[in-house]
């Protein structure tokens, strides 16, 4: 529902006449854009087994980070060759295409809802027998099926989980730190290439490709390696898998990220060739995605009954 309002708001921003209107509609668009981030991890947890989940989350987690990288590449040329309003035209068109594809191809994966629908179908197939029999799912509780109870629990569970689960707290705060570095880096790059290397918006925007390259290469390498430590430690633990078995890839990620930051910063400070700065930027992207994927794959199964809620907590922080 929230995702469906995003194209409308993006389209409306095309006609904003002042800064106040733009800020207001950007805020509302954030409500729509938050939906995939909130439920994406839970959907992957519903569909894939723990031993196969690493590759799926590795591919999924690339999109939220690759989007802010590709955006400036396009926006730099749009600002030079056209008007800023075409930024919102283009995103509206893409959003509409995604919505249409989603209507036809996306299916429900939440087990309690699927079982509830199946129980309802069984009741409707033979009403006479249904009057003498009770069809219930393992998730049914008499005091929890009202709309008020469902919405209240959906809104309060993430905050309760963040307050009570230490693994969600620690990884959520660390993910917030990683996101902070990422977006600070995104806003710093135009200044580096405009003031140090004296490049225009279009050419300066192309350097985001280095960040995207680091994100993509590290993500796809990690996608093929992420499940191996989990299977290894699971065998060592008598066949019992634990969420923390997903964390080994954080180790190279936490080393590569500061190395890339130092390389990019020192290269720009001493006016070295832009390729040295881009190598540092690519290393930052690689380190960030390794850390991000490890946190995502660890935090999703940390509360088995509510796979989507830990991811919501981490994204919220």
Following DSSP, what letter does each residue of 170-185 receive, concatenated? HHHHHHHHHHHHHHHH
Residue 47 to residues 82, 168, 312: CA-CA distances in angstroms?
43, 22, 18
- Round to whole Å and give the CA distance between 295 and 304: 16
Rounded Cα distance, 236 and 107, in Å: 36
DSSP secondary structure letters along 35-68: HHHHHHHHHHHHHS-GGGHHHHHHHHTHHHHHHH
CA distance 174 to 291: 9
Indicate the angle between helix axes 308-316 and 19-47, nearest 10 degrees.
150
Please write down the long-range contacts of 277-281, taking CB distance under 8 Å and 24 or more positions apart: 277/192, 277/207, 278/207, 278/210, 279/210, 281/185, 281/189, 281/207, 281/210, 281/211, 281/214
Residue 28 exposure: Cα atoms within 13 Å on the Cβ side: 15
C-alpha distance across the termini of the chain, in Å: 23
Backbone angles phi, psi at 12, to 5 degrees: -65, -30
Query: In the chain, where are the structural domains located?
Result: 52-84+164-307
Please tell me the number of Cα atoms within 13 Å of 19 on its side-chain side: 0
Q: Identify the pLDDT of residue 180.
A: 87
As given in the structure block, the two tokens for residue 108 are: 């429900």
pLDDT in 10s for each residue of the chain, 317 residues = 555 566 566 656 666 677 787 777 777 777 777 777 777 767 777 787 776 777 777 777 777 777 778 877 777 777 777 777 777 777 778 878 888 888 888 888 877 778 778 777 777 776 666 555 666 666 666 445 666 776 777 677 777 777 777 777 888 888 888 888 888 888 888 888 888 888 887 788 888 899 989 988 998 888 777 778 888 888 888 888 777 888 888 889 999 999 999 999 999 999 899 999 999 999 999 999 898 888 877 776 665 555 555 555 555 55
Maximal C-alpha separation, the chain = 83
pTM above 0.75, yes or no: no
Query: Which residue, 223, 212, 220, 222, is CA-closest to 285?
Result: 212
Task: Give the per-residue pLDDT at 33.
Answer: 72
State the pLDDT at residue 144: 58
Closest by Cα among 158, 173, 179 to 292: 179
- Please state, in angstroms and rounded to a whole number, the distance separating the CA atoms of residues 112 and 235: 30
């Amino acid at each position: 529902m929230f995702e469906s309002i995003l194209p409308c708001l993006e389209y409306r921003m095309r006609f904003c006449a002042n800064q106040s209107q733009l800020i207001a509609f950007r805020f509302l668009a954030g409500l729509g854009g938050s939906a995939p981030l909130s439920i994406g991890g839970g959907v992957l947890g519903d569909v894939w087994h723990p031993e196969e989940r690493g590759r799926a989350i590795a591919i999924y987690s690339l999109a939220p980070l690759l989007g802010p990288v590709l955006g400036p590449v396009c926006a730099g040329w749009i600002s030079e060759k056209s008007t800023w309003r075409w930024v919102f035209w283009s995103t509206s068109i893409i959003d509409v295409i995604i919505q249409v594809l989603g209507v036809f191809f996306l299916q429900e994966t939440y087990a309690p809802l699927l079982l509830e629908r199946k129980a309802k179908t069984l009741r409707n197939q033979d009403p006479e027998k249904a009057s003498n029999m009770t069809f219930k799912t393992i998730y049914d509780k008499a005091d929890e099926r009202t709309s008020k109870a469902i919405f209240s629990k959906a809104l309060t569970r993430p905050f309760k989980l963040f307050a009570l689960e230490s693994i969600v707290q620690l990884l959520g705060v660390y993910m917030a730190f990683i996101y902070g570095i990422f977006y600070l880096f995104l806003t710093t790059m135009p200044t580096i290439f405009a003031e140090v290397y004296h490049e225009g918006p279009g050419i300066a925007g192309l350097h985001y490709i280095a960040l995207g390259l680091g994100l993509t290469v590290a993500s796809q390498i990690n996608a093929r390696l992420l499940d191996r430590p989990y299977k290894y430690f699971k065998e060592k633990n008598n066949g019992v898998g634990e969420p923390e078995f997903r964390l080994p890839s954080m180790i190279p990620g936490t080393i590569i990220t500061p190395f890339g930051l130092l390389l990019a910063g020192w290269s720009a400070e001493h006016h070295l060739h832009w390729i040295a700065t881009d190598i540092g930027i690519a290393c930052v992207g690689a380190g960030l995605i390794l850390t991000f994927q490890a946190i995502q794959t660890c935090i999703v199964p940390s509360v088995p009954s509510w796979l989507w809620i830990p991811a919501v907590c981490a994204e919220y922080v």
